[in-house]
Structure 1
Amino acid sequence: MDRASVLEAVGLDFDHDIELVLAFLNTCDAEKGTEALGDHADWQRWCTERGLVVVPEVEAAREMRDTMRSAVSCGMRPAGFANTTWPVQVQLRNGVPSLVGVDALGSVLVAAARLVHTEHWDRIKICPAEDCLWAFYDRSRNRSRTWCSMRVCGNREKARSWRERHTTA
């Protein structure tokens, strides 16, 4: 049994990890021009909506988010938090130890680490549309998805490309 199967067997919810990491990565929205980590009140609201313990360091959260988004954009594993020290707890689930974040940022880091460890991290991508840049999870079989939404961003890019080809010809 591989390590992902073992972790799934003890009840770790990868969908929850994926949703949490994506929500964290998408705390900045290029299309709407919003920043959910603008100040401590915004950060507190984001944490409360997800039932997470608020950590006062909104700057640390913003820095970690930007580091993680850079790693995703470059197609790399998030080496930026390899040297990060953040409090976590070890819990036993069905006799298997698992890490649990003690606060919001710790929870995000633990979720991201589990995604890296189980090879789900490589499916997290950033939409290349300059006016979007939304983080999404590629559920395609061959991991070839490019756009967050083919109907919106993909269609806009195809239309833009078609116009460029036909107006210069």
Structure 2
Amino acid sequence: MHTDASLVVAFLNTVNVEHGDDLLDDPERWRHWAADHGVSPNPVTAARAARDKLRAAVGDPRLPGGALDVAAQISLTDEGPVLVAGDAVGAVLAASARLAVRGDWIRLKICPADDCLWAFYDESRNRSRQWCSMRVCGNREKARSWRARAAEVHT
């Protein structure tokens, strides 16, 4: 997975719906996450607002969409213009912007399983991957569909 996509997906998955765990509920864990990703932590409220708006933009059905403005800086280097971020939210949104410019934004997805909602980056050739994991969520959904169809036949 591309570095930008890895950062964005990691940020989106700081909440685990299946286990009811939100990394942003613990400021110390948030500081460690930011340090592990080489960025400065924002205040938790700003990080949560950005994560929720970004998850909604990617397709989390539980969250309302909407605009979020974050200041960006562009630096002109010998290699060309570069988005510069001073903190975690800025770095994640800069990575998101680069994905959008490359046409890869549509590869960021949220698993549609209600008990999962894990963010993932669709690396399939035709961008058609639906589930975070075919072995787990995809298999569960296929089994549910099969049971429902079987129940209809036997009623």
TM range (shorter): 0.7 to 0.9
Counterpart of 1:90 in structure 2 is 75
Gaps of 5+ in 2: none
Counterpart secondary structure, 2:82: strand
What CA distance in whole angstroms lies between the structure 2 residues aligned with 1:93 and 1:18? Answer: 25
Deviation at 1:89, TM superposition (A): 5.1
User: 1:91, 1:100 within 8 Å by CA — same for their partners in 2?
Assistant: no
> What do the CA deviations read for 1:72-107 (whole angstroms, capped 9, x no partner)?
1179xx8623xx13354524142x111121111111
- Quick one: structure 1 residues 35 and 159, their matched pair in 2 at CA, closer, same or farther if it must change by over 3 Å? same
Deviation at 1:168, TM superposition (A): 2.8
TM-score (ref. length: structure 2): 0.88
User: Alignment length, in residue pairs?
Assistant: 150
1:33 maps onto 2:17 in alignment: no
1:125 maps onto 2:112 in alignment: no
Equivalent positions of 1:1-169 (< 5 A) are 15-55=2-42, 57-73=43-59, 80-81=67-68, 84-88=69-73, 90-94=75-79, 96-169=80-153
> What do the CA deviations read for 1:35-89 (whole angstroms, capped 9, x no partner)?
011142232121012121222x1101101111011111179xx8623xx133545
TM-score (ref. length: structure 1): 0.81
What CA distance in whole angstroms lies between the structure 1 residues aligned with 2:81 and 2:66? Answer: 23
Gaps of 5+ in 1: 1-13
**What is the RMSD computed on CA atoms of the aligned residues?**
2.0
- Quick one: structure 1 residues 126 and 93, their matched pair in 2 at CA, closer, same or farther if it must change by over 3 Å? farther
What CA distance in whole angstroms lies between the structure 2 residues aligned with 1:93 and 1:23? Answer: 30
